[in-house]
Structure 1
Amino acid sequence: MGLFLVHGSDEILVSEHVSDLVRQLVGENDRSLMLEEFGGDYVMSGVTESAQTPPFFTERRVIVVRRDGGFSADDVEVLVAYAADAADFTDLVVEWGSGRVSEPLKKAIKAAGGQIVDPSPPTKARERRAWWETQVEMRGLQFDAAGMNLVIEWLGEDVARFEGLAETLMATYGPKKITADMVKPFLGQRGDALPWDLTDSIDKGNATEALRAARRMMQAGDRHPLQILAQLHNHYTRLAKLDDRGIASLADAESALGIKGFPAEKAYNTFRSIGHDGVRRAFELLSRADSDLRGGTGLEEDVVMDVLVARLARLAPTVSRRR
């Protein structure tokens, strides 16, 4: 018996992981006899009924279930009931996709000894690099340090593009060590950037990195400038919550923000750097950019965003020098 639930923010990575998992479960057996997939219009009770039916021509049965638009509460209820009495001869793979996984379903799968997998890369830099190194090793590739750094930086959040790149590099170079110069011709367009890549660079006063992150979010990430503007507004709204003389320590900041640990510490340190005047100026800049993006100027949208990001990045060093 095997129960697997695969979920994550990147549905392409989720789908690829499910495909890899199915290949492992089927192995050398006849895929057409062993595998059954449910998608589109179906009833979940039909899936579990099939899972409870012994296979005819193979020792095991592999069932993959996915649902466009997400699984309903009724679907979850049926899956939870199945997990309590899962068939020993069936491997059931639930391709959940993105979105929050139902807590009762998670508990039921774990109680049954199943696996819940999120193939998305970690967000912390050290863990993220280790994740990338694992992906490279799994595909039989070798990079030197510069080549590895280039791949990670260039692809950014578009990690799903690595699968095709890996196949191309393996076909071209095989197991030999790949340098940055060797990989450059295959990279194409730079990948997306994380939202906090932008805000972190702004908070550090690094206009160059902030501009690069904003451009990548708009171009490779297909984000509209107003979406990025909303993210920046949320960032400074969080900082504004710290504009209170009663907040004199990290503990006070954590209480005011309703969050703990590193995110609260970052916000606390940023507010201490730019202060009341910096936050007020940031909202002025955001308001002006919002007006310009809605037709208040003849400038192109990317120019409006470049000006905004550069001015926001200047707040930290400017205010710091005044103190």
Structure 2
Amino acid sequence: MVLVAGAEGLLAERAVDRLVGLARERDPGVEVTTLDGALYGSGMLGVVASPSLFDEDRVVVVEGVERATDELLTDALAYLASPAPDVVLVLRHGGGQRGKKLLDAVRAQGAPVVVCEPVKKDSDKAAFVSAELRRASRRADPRAVRALVDAVGADLRELAAACAQLVADTTGVIGSEVVERYYGGRIEATGFRVADAAIEGDAGQAVALLRHALATGVDPVPVVAALAMKLRTLAKVAATRGRGGASVRDLSLAPWQVDRALKDLQRWTPEGLAEAITAVAQADAEVKGAGRDREFAVERAVLRIASAGSR
């Protein structure tokens, strides 16, 4: 018995396919049956898992356990007490509380659990892209990987499809110019990406992302809020330098946020940080009514931040 748990559909599908593939490597003629948890009727599991005339191996995949009928939960719990020796039962649960008693019982028996949680951090998405390309015996330079994540990174399935397209349509090492040609129009220019570019001192990229964001309907207010949040994090971490690890732990920041801030602070002086914070404060007032041109106000703040970091 194997539990495939988590809301990331692509990873879960691959896990199930891998399990079925392993069974077929052992026996090419293995019988594979798929049941839908939402449509399950009483006794169906017993029928497909009952001993066969020739003791043939079988794989039973139960999809959508998070939508399971009461009959499935009852039958599956009963099956746990006496599982069939020639059957691999794969339970696919997409998240939520439905079926929790069954999942707890499966885990208590020590069954393998494949965790397929959504990939949210850009660094994890970049690692996913690199792994996808390695599987196809290809690679991309770091800027290309970052550009691809920026363009289609919100959905792992789309990211995998983009990798497959680039592998099929290109040769050699994949560069950022190739990604830009294929996916440049889809860059997800959120306030935090604008802030990242400005903090890094890349004024051109920051302004390009900002203008794209504004053109696609992003309001200036959350962009300024993202800038302020990034600078507040830098200021907090900067204030703890030289005070030891205990002070850093008191900041209520995730370890990755501290690591990112320490890296960014290498190009920032206290004076530059003060100037950037002043620029954001002015922009905040202007985008909330104190200025005539909200978009100009935030663009000016982005440019001032990008230049302040090098001082």
In the aligned structure 2, how far is the partner of 1:91 from the partner of 1:20? Answer: 13
Amino acid at match of 2:243: S
Distance 2:80 2:229 in 1: 43
The whole-number CA distance in structure 1 between the counterparts of 2:195 and 2:34 is: 46
Aligned partners of 1:35 and 1:63 also within 8 Å:
yes
Report the equivalent of 2:281: 283
Deviation at 1:248, TM superposition (A): 5.9
**Paired residue for 1:4?**
4
Larger radius of gyration: 2
| Deviations 1:276-302 (CA, angstroms, capped at 9, x unpaired) | 56434432322322337xxx63x4x65
Q: Aligned-pair RMSD on alpha carbons?
A: 5.0
SS at match of 1:156: helix
Please name the residue that 1:150 is paired with: 144
What's the TM-score once normalised by structure 1's chain length? Answer: 0.61
1:75-101 deviation per Cα after TM superposition (whole angstroms, max 9, x unaligned): xx99xx89986956420111239xxxx
User: Does the residue aligned with 1:4 lie in a helix, a strand or coil?
Assistant: strand
Aligned runs of 1:117-196 on 2, under 5 Å?
117-118=116-117, 120=119, 123-124=122-123, 130-138=127-135, 140=136, 142-143=138-139, 145=140, 149-150=143-144, 152-156=146-150, 158-159=152-153, 160-169=157-166, 171-172=168-169, 177=172, 180=175, 186-187=182-183, 189-192=185-188
Q: In 1, distance between residues paired with 2:131 and 2:148?
A: 18
Question: Which amino acid is 1:62 matched to?
Answer: V
Q: Is the 8 A contact 1:239 1:271 kept in 2?
A: no
Distance 1:277 1:96, change over 3 A: same
Deviation at 1:109, TM superposition (A): 4.1
- The question of whether the paired residues in 2 share the 8 Å contact of 1:52 and 1:87 is answered with no
The residue number in structure 1 matching 2:91 is: 92
Amino acid in structure 1 at the alignment position of 2:280: A
CA–CA separation in structure 1 for the residues paired with 2:258 and 2:180 = 38
CA separation of 1:200/1:169 partners in 2, compared to 1, >3 Å: closer, same or farther?
A: closer
Q: 1:306 aligns with which of 288, 299, 302?
A: 299
Measure the CA separation in 1 of the matches of 2:194 and 2:223. Answer: 9
After superposition, the Cα gap between the structure-2 partners of 1:141 and 1:271, relative to the gap in structure 1 and judged at 3 Å, is same
1:112 alignment counterpart:
111
State the shift of 1:179 in Å: 5.2
- Name the aligned partner's letter for residue 207 of structure 1: A
Count of aligned positions: 281
Stretches of structure 2 lacking an aligned partner (at least 5 in a row): none
Consecutive unaligned residues in structure 1, runs of 5 or more: 8-13
- 1:64 corresponds to which letter in structure 2? E
